[in-house]
A and B are shown apart, each in its own frame.
Chain A
Amino acid sequence: MSNIGSYEERLRGFDWSIGEKELGYKKGDKINIGWYCSDRVCQMGKASKLALVWENHEGHVKKFTYNDIRQLSNTFASLLCGLGLKPGERVCIFMDKVPELYISFLGILKMGGIAQPLFSAFGDESLHTRLSNAETAAILTQKKHVAKVRKIREQLPQLKHIIVVDSEGSPLKEREVAFDMERVPRVDDWKAYESTAETPSVLHYTSGTTGQPKGAQHVHYSLIAQYLTTKWVLDVKDEDIYWCTADPGWVTGTSYGIIGPWANGVTQVVLDAGFGAEKWYAFVERHKVTVWYSAPTAIRLLMKEGKEPVAKYDMSSLRHLCSVGEPLNAEAVIWSKEAFGLPFHDTFWQTETGSIVITNYPGMPIKPGSMGKPFPGITATVVNPKTFEPINNPGTVGLIALRPGWPSMFRTYWKNEETYRSKFKNGWYICGDRASIDADGYFWFVGRDDDVINTGGHLVGPFEIESALLEHQAVAESAAIGKPDPVNMEVVKAFVALKPGFAPSDDLDLEIMNFIRKKLSPLAMPQEIEFVKSLPKTRSGKIMRRLLRAQEWGEPIGDVSTLENE
C-alpha cells in the first residue's frame, strides 16, 4: 500500500494541516527546517539510524547517523555564529556532493542564516552574479573550487568569510578559514534559531528570459509541503533506501535531496561521481536502493546504453521510480518498465514552487508522456495566455497556472519584488510553461512560454549567455537559443557576429565554447556556434531570438512585421 493510498480520497477534504500534524507543528509555533531534519528525528528514537551513506567515484564510503548529522550541523551552526554571522545573512554552499554540503545546509538554517546553494560547476562570473545580488556574507567551499572564489572576492566586499572544508593544511589567504567537519570537536547541544513560518530559509537562483538570474526566496514553512510530497509522491517509508541523483546546487537537490527525505527520517544514499550507466546500476545494487528520484536526461543516457547492462546487476531492490527536471517522454516511461519492471513517475515543479505540484502518484494509472495530476492542496489549471482565464476545453493548450498559497511557494525574488509580482495574473501564479489538460484531468506538457533554455533539466537564461559572449574579444553581437537534443531535451546554440578583424574558424569556435564554460558553466556552454554576418533585429534594435529559435526548430516564424530591413 502506498503512503498516499487513494488519490481521489486524498483530494477530498485535503488540508495542509495533515502535514503540520504529522510533524507536530501548530500555527504560530517555531519552525526550523534544520532542527526538523535532525534533532526531531533523533527525538523520535532514530538517533542511531543512518541518515546519509555517501560514496565517491573511488568507492570511498562515509556513513552518518541522524545523531551524527544533528551534532555536525550544530558544529557548523556554532562555527558560523562564532565568525559573527547573524540570522538572515546569506551563506552560500559551493561544493560538490560531499557530506559537508548536506550537513552544512542544516547548520546554516540552525543558526538562522539563509542557505544559498550554488552549483559547483559554475564559473567565476556565474558565481559573482549570484553572490553579488544576494550580498552573501560567507561561502562554504572546497579546496578545488576556492580559486573561483578568489578570482572575484575583491569585487565582493560584503563577502566576509570563505570557509574551506577540506584545506588539509594548504595555505589560505585573507578572509579564508579552514574547517574540517570531522576533526573539530562536535557540538552536542545547540539551540536552533527560533525561526517562524515566514522566516527566510533558502535562496535558490533561477534564470529567466531577460535580466540576470533571480533569487527565489523560500521560508521555513516550506517544510510542510516538502515533507508531505516526499511522503506521498516519492512514497518513502521508514525502511527505504532513497537515492536522489540531483545536485543540491539546484532546487531538487535541496527540497528532495535534503529536506524531504530527512524530515521523513529515511536513509538516503549519495553518489558523488560523474555519470556512468553501470556505475549507477552497481550503486543501486550495492546499497539496495528502493526509491530512486532522477531526471529524464539521465534516464535517456541509461536508455542509450541499452538494457543489457541492466541485466548484469541486481536491481530487484527498486520499488518506486520518479523523475523531474523536464518532461519525461513516453518512450522513457515504457523503457524503464521494460528495463526495471517499474515505470518512472514524472513530477512537475519549479524552483519557485519549492515542491512537487503536478505529478503521477504511486498506484495511479500512468499515461506515458503525461505530467499527471495536481497534488492535493494545489489548485492547478491552464489559462488563456491573453485573458488569464482558465481554459475549460480538454486538449486546448494554455499556460500552467497555480492558485497561490501552498506552503513552499516562493515568497519573493531577492531584491526584485517587481518581477515577482509580474508572475501573478488574475489571481494565478503563472509558471511560464504551456500545457493542456485532457478529459481525465491529466496535464500534458507542451513547452516553455519564454526563451529560457531547459538543458538537462536545468534552466539557463539566454541573456546571461549573450552578455558573457559579448565579453569575448571577437564577439560583436550574439543570440542564444535552445536547440533540440535527444538526450538533454535542449542544448545551447549561439549565433555570433564577429567584430572586424576576426574570421570564423574551428579554433575560434572552440575558444568561445571554453570561454563560456569557464565563465558561466558547462550547462551554459554553446554546443554549437553559428557564425553569422548579423542577427535579425526589430526596428528598435532588439535581437529576435524567437525568429532564430523558430528556424532552428522548423516552426512557423510568425509575425515579422517589426523585423529590421524587412
Chain B
Amino acid sequence: MDDMKKMVLDYVKREYLEEDDDREVTETTKLISGGIVDSFSMVSLKRFLEKKYGIRIPDADATPEAFDTVNTIVDLVNRFKKS
C-alpha cells in the first residue's frame, strides 16, 4: 500500500471509528455509504486532506462518491495535487 493510502486509512480509523469498534476498514471499505463517515464529518476529512497535501478541493468535487473509499479519496487528492 502506498504512503498516501496508508496515511488516509490510518486517519480514518483513528478519527472516525470508536476505540471498541472492531470493524475491519480497508482501502475499499465504503466510508460514506457504509455509515463510517457522514456528510457532515466529510468536511473535517476534506480539511485534513487539504492541510496534509497542500491542496484545495472545490466543494463541487467533494461528493459522497469521491469520499466513499480510501481508494477514491486518494484518486481525488492525486487529481488536485497534479493540477
Contacts and interface: CB of A to CB of B under 8 A. Distances in A.
A146 B18 CA distance: 9
A274 B47 contact: no
Contacts of A514: 15, 44
Interface string B62-76: 011100100000000
B21 interface: yes
Nearest to A522: B40
B23 A144 contact: yes
Given A144-B23, A145-B18, A274 B38 contact: yes
A170 B47 CA distance: 35
Interface in B35-60: 35, 37-41, 43-44, 47-48, 51
Interface residue SS majority, chain B: loop
Interface stretch (A44-52, A252-260, A468-476, A505-513): A505-513
A301 to B, nearest CB: 7
A222 B23 CA distance: 39
Nearest to A458: B40
Contacts of A537: none
Contacts of A507: 51
B12 interface: no
Interface in B14-38: 15, 18-23, 30, 32-35, 37-38
Contact of B33 (A145, A274, A455): A274
Nearest to B20: A147
A506 B35 CA distance: 27
A57 B23 contact: no
B18 to A, nearest CB: 4
B69 to A, nearest CB: 12
A525 B16 CA distance: 13
A49 B21 CA distance: 36
A456 B43 CA distance: 14
A16 interface: no
A250 to B, nearest CB: 14
B32 A274 contact: yes
Chain A residues touching B, range: 35 or more
Interface residues of B, number: 26
B42 to A, nearest CB: 9
Nearest to B31: A274
Nearest to A272: B35
Contacts of B41: 517, 522, 525
Contacts of B30: 57, 274
Contacts of B48: 510
Contacts of A517: 40-41, 44
A525 B35 CA distance: 17
Contacts of B22: 143, 170
Given A147-B21, A275-B64, A525 B33 contact: no
A148 to B, nearest CB: 6
A7 to B, nearest CB: 35
Contacts of A147: 18-21
Given A304-B63, A507-B51, 19 more contacts: A57-B34, A96-B35, A143-B21, A144-B21, A147-B19, A273-B33, A273-B35, A274-B38, A274-B39, A275-B32, A275-B64, A506-B51, A510-B51, A513-B44, A514-B15, A517-B40, A522-B40, A525-B43, A527-B40
28 contacts: A57-B30, A57-B33, A143-B21, A144-B18, A144-B21, A147-B19, A147-B21, A150-B20, A272-B35, A273-B33, A273-B34, A273-B35, A274-B35, A274-B39, A276-B64, A276-B65, A301-B64, A304-B63, A456-B39, A456-B40, A506-B47, A506-B51, A510-B47, A517-B40, A525-B40, A525-B41, A525-B43, A525-B44
